[in-house]
Amino acid sequence: MTLTANQETPPPAVGRAGMKKELPEQFKDYRHVWVFIEVERENIHPVSFELLGEGRKLADKLGVKLAGVVLGPPGDATQQAIAEAFAYGADVAYLVEHPLLADYRNEPFTKALTNLVATYKPEILLLGATTLGRDLAGSVATTLLTGLTADCTELDVDADGSLAATRPTFGGSLLCTIYTLNCRPQMATVRPRVMAMPQRMNKPIGCVIQHGVPMLEEEIVTKVLGFLSDVQSTNSNLAYADVVVGGGLGLGTSENLKLVKNLARVIGAEYGCSRPLVQKGWMPADRQIGQTGKTIRPKLYIAAGISGAIQHRVGVGGADLIVAINTDPNAPIFDFAHLGVVTDAIRFLPALTDVFTHRLSPHSRDKLAN
Amino acid sequence: MHVVVCIKQVPDSAQIRVHPVTNTIMRQGVPTIINPYDLFALEEALRLRDVHGGEVTAVTMGPPMAEDSLRKALTYGADRAVLLTDRYFAGSDTLATSFALSQAIAKIGETFGAPDIVFTGKQTIDGDTAQVGPGIAKRLDLLQLTYVSKICSLDLDAREIKVDRRSEGGTQMLQSRLPCLITMLEGTNEIRRGSLDDALRAARSQIVKWSAADAGIEDLSKCGLRGSPTVVKRVFAPTARVEKAEQITTTDKALSDVADELIVEIFSRQPALEHELAFDASA
């Protein structure tokens, strides 16, 4: 079998001089803001609601409608996703309901979403930067030969109605604002927890547009053989935790991670770490906090023995209160933490854990005694 | 079998510093490395070759100096390296990059045998988009398996592959067919130290260097800035917080007193938190 690269005609090319927008005729009737509602194994990913909140603002600025896009099998979870899309601000919902959309697979999802876009022509299409969202967005954007901006931290509409998508670059030390010129839709992914969660409203179901996409199981090569759910808490809920304790190289050894875990247990927090610890194999990758790990947005973040490289800063910038414990008074973490203690985390964490234990409920003391 | 691995030469982001006054990136002297995520892809490719036989070709698109990363890939044990380099590729976004790489991979297929698997890392540490892998898959009409944590089985005769794939809530077990594109998750294998033989071979090896024309790219409007629908309009430094962290002093104090002081300070700034924590702790 030989591979042949797809050489379809792309949209008219633009150089730097092409910043002036002259949208080709075929894109002129692209309207409205769409948010992909991510449902995987009957769970709606909360990033979908965060995106609806952001999408609402964009749609209001543009004076257009906000739509939620639901792809899924016939059943309660799919209906629930539509109801939730309305509750979080959608005016319209597009639905492709098909048994082949039960488990996420790239082929049928790409086909269904590409088909929807080609039919109903949204101006802006937003997806969560999750494993599913990134897998799907990359395929859809390439199929449609349009621009896709990854992992945005800010979305806005500029004076001429273009989507201005801002994202970190150079490991988070700089931000850049990216435009998609001369192609539609303008696509972007946004990380979970970067946008604030909007208020849920009690709203009756609005207009649902059902769209049929012909698909046959025989045409889909990839089969799902099974699914192993992340059962116990070894798989973290970092992104959505209210309190997080993070450990870094300042902890010295992997054994000292128990100091982080103990504190986290006492205050009911999730725990995570900086990138070097994952590279050393001290903690699994899904507990990494930072640009290439999880973005967190807790009310309280305690960083123990973390120097605060720019990649880490990107991941914790949204925390309400950052407390840093580090021996080095010049560590960059003190530049963005709110409270700092210059001391050895290995010695300080047990003390902090003790004082918290006494300060909090008697129940926690009982629990620790056992 | 023939496995193609896409790698990227990236600045070692751990060593990038921002100028404290001008807030610009200080790139001078920052060493370059192979994108760390790509090493997991390379290792997985080498393992498959070691078991099933065949060849591993490493390919990159980049400036001439990206040759260093390819030579490094050869020292790890890749059999061949192809550098796609041309000024027409400058300024490529992910759509233009996936176009150029897909053309090069097609050409690699014609020249050295069609690949059974194309590997990439899950994303790069400089761009962080995770878009080029899916882009290449779509351009070459390959089946796409992203965030793969394990290759469970590979049957070359039946052209069948089974993998574990990371998803948000767990692990998907997928069965698919060759040829396919796999993006490899980090931490999935341990990267080998190259052998002395490989190091000697790498030093002697010729890197295949292709321009756009060499790779068979006729339409240059699909490359570089011209082929990129996204345009960076503005680059700016994040607004830095003016004040540094307020320090809890530690001199001449027992650590428990420091801890007490810190906790009082935390709860004075986040009054609601104390009740929530007490509730959580008693739950």
Strand bridging mode A207-210 / A92-97: parallel
Whole-Å CA distances, B167 to A37, A182, A283, B31, B143: 16, 33, 19, 33, 17
Question: At a CB cut-off of 8 Å and minimum separation 6, what does B233 contact?
Answer: A19, A164, A176, A177, A178, A179
Report whether pLDDT(A18) > 50: no
Interface of B with A in 115-134 (CB under 8 A): 115, 123, 125-134
Whether cis (ω within 30° of 0) applies to the bond prior to B36 is no
pLDDT given at position B228: 96
Q: A112-151 burial string, b = 16+ CB within 10 Å, else e? A: bbbbbbeebbbbbbbbbbbbbbbbbbbbbbbbbbbbbbbb
Question: At a CB cut-off of 8 Å and minimum separation 6, what does A53 contact?
Answer: A88, A89, A195, A196, A197, A198
Question: At a CB cut-off of 8 Å and minimum separation 6, what does A214 contact?
Answer: none
Question: Which of B98, B102, B100 has the alpha carbon at shortest distance from B135?
Answer: B98
Question: At a CB cut-off of 8 Å and minimum separation 6, what does B275 contact?
Answer: none
pLDDT given at position B236: 84
Find the residue in A nearest to B148 (Cα). Answer: A131
The pLDDT of B83-90, averaged and rounded, is: 96
Interface of B with A in 46-65 (CB under 8 A): none
Q: Select the residue of B171, B227, B274 nearest A13 (Cβ to Cβ).
A: B227
State whether A243 and B236 contact (CB < 8 Å). no
pLDDT given at position B238: 73
> Of A266-270, B145-149, B208-212, which range is least confident?
A266-270
Report whether pLDDT(B16) > 80: no
In the block, residue with structure tokens 């998609």:
A180
- How far is it, in rounded angstroms, from Cα A329 to Cα A325? 10
pLDDT given at position A368: 47
Place B279 in a pLDDT band, splitting at 50, 70 and 90.
low
Question: At a CB cut-off of 8 Å and minimum separation 6, what does B51 contact?
Answer: none
Q: What is the CA radius of gyration of chain A?
A: 23
Please, are residues B186 and B36 in contact by the beta-carbon 8 Å criterion? yes
Mean pLDDT of chain B: 91
Please, are residues B102 and A5 in contact by the beta-carbon 8 Å criterion? yes
- How far is it, in rounded angstroms, from Cα A221 to Cα B178? 10
pLDDT given at position A233: 43
Q: How far is A163 from chain B (nearest CA, A)?
A: 11
3-state secondary structure of B96: helix
Q: Who wins on pLDDT, A232 or B71?
A: B71
pLDDT given at position B152: 98
Report whether pLDDT(A367) > 60: no
Please, are residues A86 and A202 in contact by the beta-carbon 8 Å criterion? no
Question: At a CB cut-off of 8 Å and minimum separation 6, what does A261 contact?
Answer: A271
E runs forming strands in chain B: 2-6, 9-11, 17-18, 25-26, 32-34, 55-61, 80-84, 117-121, 143-155, 160-167, 170-177, 180-184, 208-210, 230-236, 246-247
The pLDDT of A40-46, averaged and rounded, is: 93
Q: Who wins on pLDDT, A6 or A137?
A: A137
Question: Which of A278, A311, A167 has the alpha carbon at shortest distance from B230?
Answer: A167
In the numeric block, which tokens belong to residue A360? 């909090």
Q: What percent of chain A has pLDDT over 70?
A: 89
State whether A150 and B246 contact (CB < 8 Å). no
DSSP of B253-274: S-HHHHHHHHHHHHHHHSHHHH
State whether A10 and B221 contact (CB < 8 Å). yes
Burial of B116 (0-12, 13-18, 19+ CB in 10 A): buried
pLDDT given at position B60: 98
pLDDT given at position A280: 86
Element (H, E) at A208: strand A207-210
Q: How far is A214 from chain B (nearest CA, A)?
A: 19
Report whether pLDDT(B123) > 50: yes
- How far is it, in rounded angstroms, from Cα A83 to Cα A70? 10
Q: Who wins on pLDDT, A5 or A113?
A: A113
Whether cis (ω within 30° of 0) applies to the bond prior to B271 is no
pLDDT given at position B30: 82
Tens digit of each residue's pLDDT (9 = 90 or more) over A187-207: 999 999 889 899 999 877 889
The pLDDT of A29-49, averaged and rounded, is: 96
State whether B95 and A179 contact (CB < 8 Å). no
Which sign, positive or negative, has the C-alpha torsion A98, A103, A108, A113?
A: positive
CB count, 10 Å around CB of A347? 12
Please, are residues A311 and A291 in contact by the beta-carbon 8 Å criterion? yes
Q: A133 — alpha (psi -120 to 50), left (phi > 0) or beta?
A: alpha
pLDDT given at position A370: 46
State whether A138 and B131 contact (CB < 8 Å). yes
Report whether pLDDT(B202) > 60: yes
pLDDT given at position A14: 46
Burial of A208 (0-12, 13-18, 19+ CB in 10 A): middle
DSSP of A330-364: T-THHHH-SEEEES-HHHHHHHHHHHHHHHS-HHH
At position A210, the amino acid (one-letter code) is Q
Residues in chain B closer than 8 A to A291 (CB atoms): 128
Tens digit of each residue's pLDDT (9 = 90 or more) over A122-175: 999 999 999 999 999 999 999 999 999 999 999 999 999 999 999 988 767 788
What is the DSSP-derived secondary structure letter of residue A283? S
Tens digit of each residue's pLDDT (9 = 90 or more) over A216-261: 999 999 999 999 987 644 556 888 899 999 999 999 999 999 999 9
pLDDT given at position A369: 46
State whether A343 and B128 contact (CB < 8 Å). no
Place A365 in a pLDDT band, splitting at 50, 70 and 90.
very low
Report whether pLDDT(B217) > 90: yes
Residues in chain A closer than 8 A to B61 (CB atoms): none
Mean pLDDT of chain A: 90
Which sign, positive or negative, has the C-alpha torsion A327, A329, A334, A338?
A: positive
Q: Report which listed range, A278-282, A355-359, B94-98, is most confident.
A: B94-98
- How far is it, in rounded angstroms, from Cα B219 to Cα A144? 18
- What string of H, E and C letters represents the secondary structure of A228-240? EECCCCCCCCHHH
Q: What percent of chain B has pLDDT over 90?
A: 75
Please, are residues A36 and B169 in contact by the beta-carbon 8 Å criterion? no
pLDDT given at position B17: 67
What is the DSSP-derived secondary structure letter of residue B66? G
Q: How far is B240 from chain A (nearest CA, A)?
A: 8
Place B114 in a pLDDT band, splitting at 50, 70 and 90.
very high
pLDDT given at position A2: 55
In the numeric block, which tokens belong to residue A176? 């850049």
Strand bridging mode A174-180 / A163-169: antiparallel
The pLDDT of B185-193, averaged and rounded, is: 88
- How far is it, in rounded angstroms, from Cα A106 to Cα A222? 8
The pLDDT of B70-88, averaged and rounded, is: 97
Report whether pLDDT(B260) > 60: yes
Place B9 in a pLDDT band, splitting at 50, 70 and 90.
very high
In the numeric block, which tokens belong to residue A257? 């991670």
